Amino acid sequence: MNFINTAFAASQDTQEPSALGFLLPIFILVLMYFILIRPQSKKIKEHKEMVSEIKVGDEKVLKIGESYIKLKISENVDIKIQKTSIGKILPKNSLESIK
């Protein structure tokens, strides 16, 4: 009988939740925000600004649509690409200086 009372009393012994157990998940979420989410959002914003600055007359740009840009890559060869695939804008006449 004494063994049952001791076992029952031991199972009733619960600890109060500590502040560390509460703050740890919040700290992890804040850390993930600053390491993953914030830099990615900044990069997306910079890319949108870069693409919005493209205009007809820039290096090889013939026409700008809602989500596509028409480029002249060679004599009599025009291509249409998505704006999201643009990685960098080169200064005017920079491709001729490379050749």
- Averaged pLDDT, 40-48: 94
Q: Give the rounded percent of residues in the chain with a pLDDT score beyond 90.
A: 45
Q: How many helices (H) and strands (E) does the chain have?
A: 4, 3
Contacts with 68 (C-beta within 8 Å, 6 or more apart), sequence order: 80, 81, 82, 83
Distance, C-alpha 20 to centroid of its chain:
30
Residues 50, 51, 53, 55, CA torsion sign? positive
> What is the per-residue pLDDT across 83-94, written as a single tens digit (0 to 9) for each?
999 988 877 777
Note whether 78 and 71 are within 8 A (CB): yes
Query: Of residues 22 and 49, which shows the higher confidence score?
Result: 49
- Averaged pLDDT, 74-80: 92
Quote the pTM value: 0.64
* Predicted pLDDT at 93: 76
- The DSSP bridge partners found for residue 93 are none
- Is the per-residue pLDDT at 12 higher than 80? no
